[in-house]
Structure 1
């Protein structure tokens, strides 16, 4: 489908084959989502990983694999399980909890540990990161992103204060601590690569917000989908870790936290037969229900699909050079928190409100109230 909503063509891809080919077309496209094209190249010697492209970005991602591999994450499992147990125990003693807030605190605490931000005030850090995303709506398919100059001014103003607070209260102290005492975390890794403070700030923002925003929403979505299907919920309660991961992989395939990925064509190449400057809109939800890949019943939740582990989630974690390095972590976090909640007797007390974040292109769940059975 080709349209001309503004000064450039927009192509929408809805099949797995086309979408994967485009995302894997090396150096043919660049990041066009998350308003990446509005960030001047001169601001950073090294652009944030979410917005960078090319050989340098691929090498950076290759080096980061060791922090997010299943083996590396097992070293953090004890911390992740302890954090979940403490938060859930506190909620159970209170008698209720708001899952979207609980998932926010949990995901931020876990991301802080792996990035190297340290054990600070998780609630305050979460508020700073959340405030950064309080942005005017955007439309990535329009040349002006659907924003007026006043909207852009507001976006810059509203982002500046939480960004500055994030640097002075979280990132700068962590940089100083890691310079004095290096550790096996991402901030130490960035310092060893010669990253400047402003570049480390943006990397931390990328990891913190990616880990916070998408994982937070998926935890709520997974909890909701499990409770909508009593048989699936009963199966999840008694399943082993492998089976639980298969269930969560199916849920995230059907309910991708980021529903659209945007790429700007720089040159035609195999898998990218479009004119330069074309905006490609990859419809993740449609691609993830492509019957040529996910038959039978592509729209049904079926953990037994005969697919390789990397294929089970479809494009929910992206593909190619911009595949999310934290995919294993997101599934582990979700499983740990939900399993801990279920063991504590958590039940849905009130259905949440569904919203949509145009910047991330993903769903939001708010006011998701949980109660707890007296004897789980």
Structure 2
């Protein structure tokens, strides 16, 4: 079998801190590259990732998303992202009832009001943290209320969601350290999201109702809740703060956004293209897969590198590493998946970012990085986002 292999370790701290030079090397090596450090195959190019997402039979999500069997079997079994076929459709249907544009229409005014209240509390001309003072309380506060969980648990759930994602990595000290907190997420949901503890008209109440109707098995209720408690907060917080960070560094583009010359969904798409909140997901080869001159044997695991696909010059041209809210094809990014596994909460995430940008644009003419205070990131196995984001608006 002809194949290209590499000793690149995608989970080295230095690579996680700045993965884009490594992604560029992988794209140069080929359409599919064997990563010897982890015994998996990487798909670094936009075309290859898109092809895989369009074919969930050949590229299966079952027992495939994370790099260890323990997480695939103990954390991701019966989750909407870890199932295929009829099982996936059945689980996703429950989420879609709450997250479809029609269902979100009644929430729009309240979400915009929440964003305005937080923006109105920001100091004009003084430093604030775009994560702690805006994106995190806005997104998590919105989702906690819709889930029917107490706001006092917001910080705890954000920490547990972050840890749950960190378990997706290879068998390493970082991954093992996250595992007890991922298990704590299940324990929390077993206790605080039980029947009688969440409102029947909440998102989590709707999951219990689906189990009562027989739409899903009772055992699938808590795993399905992870779609809200894990995927519904961290990823959107990272997307919002990434957009703010990029806009703060590009005054002319912030002016376009403030003047509503570009729609919020275009800003969202370009921010996701530049910095995918989830940098990769795994898949399992459902059969022998020929990619160019390489055959990936059935049963082997592949990593779909969303973060690399977003910077692929074969797709985006020589400006692939440049932030541009007017880019005409930014909506072709793959950061939220594609096809049957496209993120069910993408409409809510767009609504949330648009509410933040609208509120900021209505109050502030300028948005800039705080002088002498750099943003910080936390090294993470799969998520990419800012831990702090010092900003000044006036």
- TM-score over 0.5 (shorter chain): yes
Q: Kindly indicate whether residue 326 of structure 2 is the aligned counterpart of residue 331 of structure 1.
A: no
> Is the contact between residue 238 and residue 385 of structure 2 (CA under 8 Å) also seen in structure 1?
yes
| Match for residue 38 of structure 1 among 48, 51, 70 | 70
In structure 2, do the counterparts of structure 1 residues 371 and 190 end up closer, same or farther at CA, with 3 Å as the change threshold? farther
> Is the contact between residue 117 and residue 174 of structure 1 (CA under 8 Å) also seen in structure 2?
no
* Matched pairs, number: 354
- d(CA) in 2 for partners of 1:286 and 1:176? 40
Q: CA offset at residue 284 of structure 1?
A: 1.7
| Match for residue 59 of structure 2 among 26, 29, 35 | 29
In structure 2, do the counterparts of structure 1 residues 273 and 23 end up closer, same or farther at CA, with 3 Å as the change threshold? farther
- 334-343 vs 159-168, which moves further: 159-168
Q: Kindly indicate whether residue 120 of structure 2 is the aligned counterpart of residue 89 of structure 1.
A: yes
3-state SS in 1 of match to 2:232: helix
In structure 2, do the counterparts of structure 1 residues 73 and 187 end up closer, same or farther at CA, with 3 Å as the change threshold? farther
**Counterpart residue number, 1:12:** 42
Structure 1 residue ranges without an equivalent (≥5): none
Q: TM-score, normalised by structure 1?
A: 0.79
> Is the contact between residue 258 and residue 316 of structure 1 (CA under 8 Å) also seen in structure 2?
yes
3-state SS in 1 of match to 2:36: coil
Superposition pairs for residues 200-215 of structure 1, below 5 Å?
200-215=221-236
3-state SS in 2 of match to 1:11: strand
**Counterpart residue number, 1:357:** 380
Task: Render the CA deviation track for 1:61-101: whole Å, top value 9, x for unaligned.
Answer: 255434333333222111211221233334449x7643212
3-state SS in 1 of match to 2:299: coil
Task: Render the CA deviation track for 1:165-208: whole Å, top value 9, x for unaligned.
Answer: 34423x125666329x9999555445434546653222222222
Task: Render the CA deviation track for 1:264-301: whole Å, top value 9, x for unaligned.
Answer: 21323688952112221222233223344334633333
In structure 2, do the counterparts of structure 1 residues 233 and 56 end up closer, same or farther at CA, with 3 Å as the change threshold? same
What is the CA RMSD across the aligned residues, in angstroms? 3.6
| Match for residue 159 of structure 2 among 125, 130, 139 | 130
- d(CA) in 1 for partners of 2:325 and 2:255? 14
Structure 2 residue ranges without an equivalent (≥5): 5-32
Q: CA offset at residue 237 of structure 1?
A: 0.3
- d(CA) in 2 for partners of 1:296 and 1:159? 40
3-state SS in 1 of match to 2:379: strand
Superposition pairs for residues 43-192 of structure 1, below 5 Å?
47-62=78-93, 64-92=95-123, 97-101=128-132, 102-114=134-146, 116-117=147-148, 120-121=150-151, 123-134=152-163, 140=169, 145-147=170-172, 152=176, 154-169=177-192, 171-172=193-194, 177-178=199-200, 185=206, 188-192=209-213
- d(CA) in 2 for partners of 1:131 and 1:42? 16
3-state SS in 1 of match to 2:283: strand
**Counterpart residue number, 1:300:** 322
> Is the contact between residue 250 and residue 313 of structure 1 (CA under 8 Å) also seen in structure 2?
no
> Is the contact between residue 34 and residue 42 of structure 2 (CA under 8 Å) also seen in structure 1?
no
Q: CA offset at residue 42 of structure 1?
A: 8.4
> Is the contact between residue 143 and residue 232 of structure 2 (CA under 8 Å) also seen in structure 1?
yes
